[in-house]
Amino acid sequence: MTHTTTARLPADASSPASSPQGRFDGRLGGIALVLGGAFSVQFGSAVAALAFPIAGALGVVMLRISIAAVLLILVARPRLRDYSRADLGTAALFGLALGGMNIFFYLAIERIPIGLAVTLEVLGPLALSVIVSRRGLSLVWAGLALGGVFLLGQGGIGDLDLVGAGFALAAAAMWACYIVFSSRTGARFPKLDGLALAMVVASLVSLPLGIGSAGSALLDPVVLGFGAAVAVLSSGVPYALELLALRRLPKSTFSVLMSLAPAIGALAGFLVLGQTLSWTQCLAIVLVIAASAGAVRTGKA
């Protein structure tokens, strides 16, 4: 559930990509890459939930973040002396947001279906988009999203675990912070250096929580295998696919496609964990997706 941004590379005027057919094929390829990354993230979360009975949500998310941090450090190899204290401070705040977002989300999916957790989580970026836009139409998208949230509680508010919903909303707030500090970090660090340092900070935050919660269960080969699989599915594969997709697609198109995350999360929960949703809850997910896509299309950059 982590997102990356990069500048689009201009196509050479003489290359096939500059022709209408080439642009069409490139856009289709970009869409496939975005959807592939989204499916990888959400199915990675579903796979992570399979290990919750052994290591708990905090243990699994600690493994996911720590393994991803090691992989990113090996790839990026950032040198601290190349950056100022302000640079490192920005990366640290980015890491706190990144760690909080993942920790709260995993605590949420331990209690509520993945589709509902993602639906509540995307309210963070949606709220940020509405606030930044400052347009009257933004109130329509906000109202549509609130209607979706209201529907989630229909059929008996007791059916929705309030603690799990609270964790998902906390993840939403951290996701909004993640977007802000991701942008600031990207402006200060080249390539993946800032993300690698941020992931290290996130792992330091998750380590005491994971060890305190799971203890020796973290050494179970099965749990370690799940942690490695989740790190690849939820971090490694999506980062690569999103970077490639942003070379082919406008950022607005990319963002609209990412708003499909709640639906993909619901599908992952159903196929991997056997989680089912009522028609009312499915309608709520559709409303939030529509609100997210609308806010992206009509909002400011």
Domain boundaries, the chain: 21-298
- Confidence at residue 134, expressed as pLDDT on a 0 to 100 scale: 67
The label of the residue with tokens 């990069």 reads: 6
Whether 52 shows a pLDDT value over 80: the answer reads yes
Poorest-confidence range of 67-81, 110-124, 178-192, 257-271?
A: 178-192
Torsion of CA 138, 142, 144, 145, to 10 degrees: 140
Q: Please answer whether residues 99 and 203 qualify as being in contact, where contact means their C-beta atoms are separated by less than 8 angstroms.
A: yes
The label of the residue with tokens 């290290």 reads: 200
How would you label 238-256 residue by residue, b for 16+ Cβ within 10 Å and e otherwise? Answer: bbebbebbbbbbeeebbbb
Smallest CA-to-CA distance from 277 within 116, 49, 161, 163 is with: 116
Q: Tokens representing 105?
A: 């989300």
- Compute the half-sphere exposure of residue 107: CA atoms within 13 Å on the CB side of its CA: 22
Q: Who wins on pLDDT, 130 or 217? A: 217
The label of the residue with tokens 């109202």 reads: 143
Global confidence as pTM? 0.83
How far out from the chain centre does Cα 252 lie? Answer: 17
Q: What is the mean pLDDT of the chain?
A: 83
Q: Please answer whether residues 67 and 210 qualify as being in contact, where contact means their C-beta atoms are separated by less than 8 angstroms.
A: no
- Confidence at residue 50, expressed as pLDDT on a 0 to 100 scale: 92
Q: Who wins on pLDDT, 34 or 206? A: 206
The label of the residue with tokens 């406008």 reads: 250
Q: Tokens representing 51?
A: 């290990």
